[in-house]
Structure 1
């Protein structure tokens, strides 16, 4: 998820002033024999904790509890699937569980050295495990199970038990591939097309070719083992390329993230990648990835990118395999995140096929043609729609963007102001501000955009460590839009999005609808180059630190941290019951409250409460929303299930049952409202000569026409119209049969 990183220059200068003052009294001098000199590691740890303790908003006490947190996070990071260490290793490591705070203070690397040496030994042993396991066919008729809930499973008692765990884990992977191959072959034989678009393409391609002789079960079984062997060979080749510095970075990050989840250490290579991501230059499929246990999870889709356009990949999907076009897929379970990214990225126009586990437990192959994510598609855009004789406008803002180095470049504040003016010229009677999946951005642009809808007053309060609160105001009395306003959010709306939604809610300026609550990130980070604090030669690049320096608060005084912004009208979605917010992270900073600012409620919307009540009634009575809520509960239930049968007949039966159950909810994706969304007049002229723009807007308008949430936002705008003041307006619901 795109995190809020606000480079507010005056705040950054204050932070640096404090740090430089400290460094003046405590200079770091580095002269090392080699880049892998342990003395460099000791200095990096010392420098990191020194900078965090003086620059962090509320640094945690480095005590035994802090030490336990480091220990837990670090061991999990080294071996998330518990397939390297055995219980005797953990017993030996455990004596350091409460000593790491003291070791850090004393520049003692005994714990790291012990775990690093043991990990290298266990990795070397594991190479023999998988090669032996894959050397002979699996017996899929045996009745046995494998539990993938690694977090709660114990470590293997000995190497024999560990090898058995490897066998079952590999067998599950090959079994999944084998059943896919068998089903594909059966479908081709029977002329049955799949619901899966990627499989359907393969079907059509093969249908035009001379039919291949069906392969035997033994041939397909052998293919899956060969594919798994190739994947694991590549995985261990990658691990062999990692050096001591790479593993030490894991340890350093375990220390950094215990201060809070958004405080991170960037080794030199990652710092470079972070700089690229902040520049907005994105290529590939247009998705952000993160590690989840031993797997890679889609954390966010980049607006305008190939994955976003395809509408098949979603946040929360787990990537199981990656294939280059129609080549054999490679299992990426257990791979380092960087290695997975390398496999997914590739030249524009080439195809990558991702085998993913959806949040509902179904397995799907998704074909994506790589492309360059155009920056234009990350900017604000608007559309108009007419219903019941009234015209409305929708502004979609994917992030609160700004270029601090160039005042003449585009920023979200200027662009949204322009879109509002264009919508006014179109004669709209209400505006929907769509902030769904907006991960944040610039605080300055939030204030600028909020100021378009209020006369003047505070927008957000900011608190830095040891300093009085600062209030950011809209001081321009001009109101660009004084008509009905609805703000859309979801559980992935974070940081700057939450500030805007909270301000509109607190002023009673707009009605907030969407997920029960937003993400809940109420902190600000700054990135600090660690090299500036070190004197000496042969030091090398030490990387950078992103640390939390401020918290922001609503104008009513409450923080958005953890709690996020509760929607005025909560609408069920498929993520309703999943733990995906800031509040679900064990060491997230706490919620708190400061004094409120003085402000005046918006008093020009007399039917505000009635519109909220009407919306709640519609949602409660809408069969489609009831189905969405039922689907969300099923997804939550599926997410908690972790035991898989390794008997092929039972495995097939379980997968078929999941697919059959998922069909009940297919109508959710097939939903279509009766609304027609159009581009604004100026854009319609531009589209006459710009076919690319025309294609993009048509694609967006098509997605809006299938969006039940946008439809409800427009219902709310209807209720907010002056003609409906004091009335109980209930929009008729389009009744559809629910398939069971």
Structure 2
């Protein structure tokens, strides 16, 4: 904390002196450029230089952001813009905004032309009996050669939008919420007309939004093209987006609880917030694409090509209101998900535990689920993840469990302090993680109390969505040989730290009239394991690798452009636990034999192959019968896999009848339906079954510590 405060103080002094008023006519953009350029070059962890190489990469990123989806610009436009390929570094220093102004002008010209083209196309019925196909992955398409080729693309895209709208109307007419209409369903001309009219309304909204693009939105696009070259987690927030961020952080506006991002012109689910309506309903998943948003019974709005901030405004709304999302699942299914907006149910974000009893082994095991590393910094007696996990541990130890499972799957991280304290619950004392900025030696975070809350066999569960603080805990306890880490091929690999900086704070007093400037999230530090290896990029590789449904999605730092690389610092001195490498090798060997013989893991592996194949299939039919048939097959395959997920008969899951609150035993309320469902889901999880087997093997192989 002292390091961060010192950094902010030094930078405040630096910029209050550096940004004195220049000559008359100096534009706000020049000051903004100067600020962002100084932050990037002086304080970003990477130390990258702003030069011609940076300029060329920024130019490529800018043109991609400007026309994400290759839906408007033609090759002649890109040729016109190419004059700026090696000038962006100079523009950033001078505050010259010639490139974004030209880009906005060219985009506006093409939007007007495409609008007229679309109105003409939509004035006539589509022929869904033809075997047309559309390539949805813009990386597999070249920029349109001319307006004629651009028209061909829009004719296919509008046909695709109308086709999906037609199927939604068909489901509504038949009273079907989800699933696919039968492949032999007769074509209804009246539905095609309604679908085409709805698509016309939707695309006209898109064109109007693009034509009314605010200047700060175009500035944001330009600056973020530059910042993206440094790393994927640094970002510029214009004033309006900064307000959205503040609202989100304060939790004062209700919504569905999903973090949205943009990918190839589509709005993608990047994260689902624990305790939110989407998290509780459990239908909306990471990597799902939102195609349309409908308010209550109103006509859905197509959000493909829409900015993330505008899409978020449609998704958010008042508590108790209904929002309908048309979603393309990762397996290709198109379905509608209805959600009632609400605030996050805080109780659902807290650590909770269960006792898993294996009737075959005649043993019981503690299970602790931690959705995120929360910490209430506003109250001295507020709840935090490490204290809550400690209480759960104490209760489970008192029950005499034979081993412990800490589930950090899909835990995106949180408070560093809690990651350190939580790790300390399982070791006597010693270093846990190293944190380093660009200019200083690593700072070591240690467990110093000498106390251990649990000494027995320990398994940590992770997946590709386990990130940041989760990776710190898994890495530390793996390095101490204190726990066996089980999960997919690797965790997310986010080993960086960002600070959010309000740019208004760094203006001299006589430049306050330029406010507001917005804010910048800047990557300033990296995490390193006690072995000296970074958790960045590579993540944590589990000791025992099991099939992970998110592995095929390519989730993590490795899939993101310009991620900071893996590197090392010096190893620290620490005392490993009693799980020596030979015993770990034996645990791995036994686990592999069980996995190969387990039908459930074979089913998961087959499902991953199916999903991966479907995800790579981006050339989509525009023939109604074929499209219906494909959707019907996808829903049938998904249903088949879901039916295979049954409770494991010999495993029982229960919660304690009492909980210790403030040192006194208090009777719990009857188990809610949600908690019953949670316990049932635990019994269906083959990874938990294997974790129990690993803990049982550990008991037989490793002497008590």
| Same fold at TM > 0.5 | yes
Instruction: Give the aligned partner of residue 99 of structure 2.
Output: 111
Does structure 2 retain, via aligned residues, the 8 Å contact 1:30–1:539?
Answer: no
* 8 A contact 2:657–2:667 mirrored in 1: no
Please state how far the C-alpha of 1:242 moved relative to its aligned partner. Answer: 2.9
Tell me if structure 2 keeps the 8 A contact 1:673–1:706. no
Match of 1:52 in 2: 40
Equivalent of 1:639, from 604, 607, 615? 615
Q: Confirm or deny: 8 A CA contact 1:199 1:365 kept in the other structure.
A: no
State how 1:19-58 maps to structure 2 within 5 Å. Answer: 19-23=11-15, 25-29=17-21, 39-58=27-46
Deviation at 1:125, TM superposition (A): 2.4
Could you say which residue in structure 1 is the equivalent of 2:50?
62
* CA distance in 2: counterparts of 1:645 and 1:596, whole angstroms: 55
C-alpha RMSD over aligned residues: 2.7
Conserved 8 A contact 2:480-2:577: yes
- Could you tell me how far apart the structure 1 residues matched to 2:328 and 2:540 are? 30
Mapped partners of 2:614, 2:666: distance in 1: 45
Q: Does the 8 A contact of 1:679 with 1:697 survive in 2?
A: no
Deviations 1:707-731 (A, max 9, x none): 222222222222222x5659xxxxx
CA distance in 2, matches of 1:394, 1:362: 34
Structure 2 gaps, min length 5: none
The match for 1:10 is: 2
Shift, 1:687, TM fit: 9.6
Q: From the superposition, tell whether residues 397 and 32 of structure 1 become closer, same or farther in structure 2 (CA, over 3 Å).
A: farther
Paired position in structure 2 for 1:451: 424
Task: Measure, in 2, the Cα distance between the counterparts of 1:558 and 1:476.
Answer: 25
Map 1:149-298 → 2, pairs under 5 A: 149-182=137-170, 196=179, 217-280=188-251, 283-298=254-269
Q: Does 1:559 align with 2:547?
A: no
For 2:135 and 2:35, locate their aligned partners in 1 and report how far apart those are by CA, in whole Å: 42
1:622 — aligned with what? 598
Give the TM-score taking structure 2 as reference length. Answer: 0.92
For 1:495, which of 439, 461, 468 is the aligned residue? 468
Distance 1:28 1:396 in 2: 53
Q: TM-score, normalised by structure 1?
A: 0.88
Larger displacement relative to structure 2 (514-523 or 14-23): 14-23
Q: Secondary structure at the match of 1:288?
A: strand
Aligned to 1:701: 679
> Does structure 1 retain, via aligned residues, the 8 Å contact 2:489–2:545?
yes
Q: Is the 8 A contact 1:28 1:533 kept in 2?
A: no
Secondary structure at 2:436's aligned position in 1? Answer: strand
Q: Point out the more displaced range, 556-565 or 634-643.
A: 634-643
The answer (yes or no) to whether the contact 1:42–1:108 under 8 Å persists in 2 is yes
In the other structure, the counterpart of 2:273 is 302
Q: Which residue of 1 aligns with 2:415?
A: 442
Q: Which moved further from structure 2: 636-645 or 276-285?
A: 276-285
Partner SS, residue 384 of structure 1: strand
> Is the 2:414–2:469 Cα contact (8 Å) retained in structure 1?
yes
Q: Distance in 1 between matches of 2:430 and 2:127?
A: 71
Q: Where in structure 2 are the equivalents of 1:86-125 lying within 5 Å?
A: 86-125=74-113
Distance 1:469 1:272 in 2: 34
Using the TM superposition, name which of 96-105 and 273-282 deviates more.
Answer: 273-282
Cα separation, partners in 2 of 1:353 and 1:194, compared to 1, 3 Å: closer
Structure 1 residues 689 and 241, CA, compared in 2 at 3 Å: closer, same or farther?
farther
Whole-angstrom distance in 2 between the partners of 1:714 and 1:329: 47
Q: Which of 305, 327, 333 is matched with 1:334 structurally?
A: 305
1:198-233: CA deviation from partner (whole Å, max 9, x where unpaired): 999xxxxxxxxxxxxx99711000010111112123
Work out the CA distance in 2 between the residues paired with 1:665 and 1:604: 37
Deviation at 1:670, TM superposition (A): 4.7
Q: Which moved more, 1:478-487 or 1:19-28?
A: 19-28
Q: 1:397 to 1:548 in 2, by over 3 A?
A: same
| 8 Å contact kept, 2:323–2:338 | yes
**In the TM superposition, what is the alpha-carbon distance from 1:669 to its structure 2 partner?**
4.2
Deviation at 1:274, TM superposition (A): 2.1
Match of 2:384? Answer: 411
Q: Secondary structure of 1:493's match? A: coil
Q: SS of the residue aligned with 1:224?
A: helix
State whether residues 272 and 285 of structure 2, in contact with CA within 8 Å, keep that contact through their aligned partners in structure 1. yes
The 2-side partners of 1:517 and 1:282 are apart by 35
CA contact (8 A) 2:100 2:218 kept: no
Q: Aligned pair count?
A: 693
**Matching residue within 362, 376, 398 for 2:333:** 362
- 1:456 & 1:26 partners in 2: Cα distance? 46
- Structure-1 residue corresponding to 2:568: 593
Q: 1:518 aligns with which of 469, 491, 511?
A: 491
Q: Distance in 2 between matches of 1:398 and 1:621?
A: 31
In 2, the alpha carbon distance for the partners of 1:705 and 1:687 equals: 27
Q: Report whether the alignment pairs 1:76 with 2:57.
A: no
Q: Say which SS state the counterpart of residue 355 (structure 1) adopts.
A: strand
Structure 1 residues 623 and 408: CA distance shift in structure 2, 3 A = same
Q: Say if 1:698 and 1:666 are closer, same or farther in 2 by CA, change over 3 A.
A: closer
Q: CA deviation at 1:294?
A: 1.1
Separation in structure 2 between the aligned mates of residue 78 and residue 306 of structure 1, nearest angstrom: 33
SS in structure 2 of the partner of residue 250 of structure 1: helix
Q: Contact between 2:69 and 2:265, CA under 8 Å: does it hold in 1?
A: yes
Q: Which structure 1 residue ranges, 5 or more long, are not aligned?
A: 1-8, 201-213, 727-740
